[in-house]
A and B are shown apart, each in its own frame.
Chain A
Amino acid sequence: MTTTKIQSASTVSPAPTGTGSRGTKVLGGFALVFLAIAVVYGLFISPPDAQLGNTIRIIYMHVPTVMAAYLAFIITAVSSGMYLWKRTEFWDLLGSSAAEIGVLFFAVTIVDGALWGKVTWGVFWRWEPRLTTSAVLLIMYIGYLAVRAIPADPRTRATRCAIIGIVAIVNVPIVHKAVDWWRGLHQGKTVLGTIDPEMGGTQLFAMYSSLIAGLLVCVWLLIHRFRAGFLAERASDLGLDQALEERRLESSPATGEDA
Chain B
Amino acid sequence: MNSSNLTETLCIVGAWLVTFGAVGAYGAAVILRGRRLSKIVPPEQRRWM
Interface residues of A (CB under 8 A from B): 14-20, 39, 42-43, 53-55, 57-58, 61-62, 65, 89-90, 101, 104-105, 107-108, 111-112, 115-116, 118-119, 217, 220-221, 224-225, 227-228, 230-232, 234-235, 238
Contacts and interface: CB of A to CB of B under 8 A. Distances in A.
B27 A221 contact: yes
Contacts of B40: 231, 235, 238
B40 to A, nearest CB: 5
Given A43-B16, A112-B15, A116-B15, A230 B48 contact: yes
Interface string B1-29: 00000011101101110110011001100
A37 B3 CA distance: 30
Given A18-B31, A19-B31, A221-B27, A231 B46 contact: yes
B22 A108 contact: yes
Nearest to B35: A18
Given A20-B31, A61-B16, A230-B48, A235 B23 contact: no
Given A108-B23, A224-B34, A89 B15 contact: no
B35 to A, nearest CB: 4
Q: DSSP class of B's interface residues: helix, strand, loop or mixed?
A: helix
Interface of B: 7-9, 11-12, 14-16, 18-19, 22-23, 26-27, 30-31, 33-35, 37-38, 40-49
22 contacts: A15-B43, A15-B46, A15-B47, A16-B48, A18-B38, A19-B38, A39-B16, A54-B12, A57-B15, A61-B19, A90-B49, A112-B19, A116-B15, A118-B7, A119-B8, A119-B11, A228-B31, A228-B34, A230-B49, A231-B37, A231-B40, A238-B42
By Cβ-Cβ distance, the 3 closest A-B pairs, closest first, are: A19-B34, A15-B43, A231-B37
Contacts of A18: 31, 34-35, 38
Contact of A54 (B8, B19, B46): B8
B48 to A, nearest CB: 6
A146 B20 CA distance: 25
A118 B37 contact: no
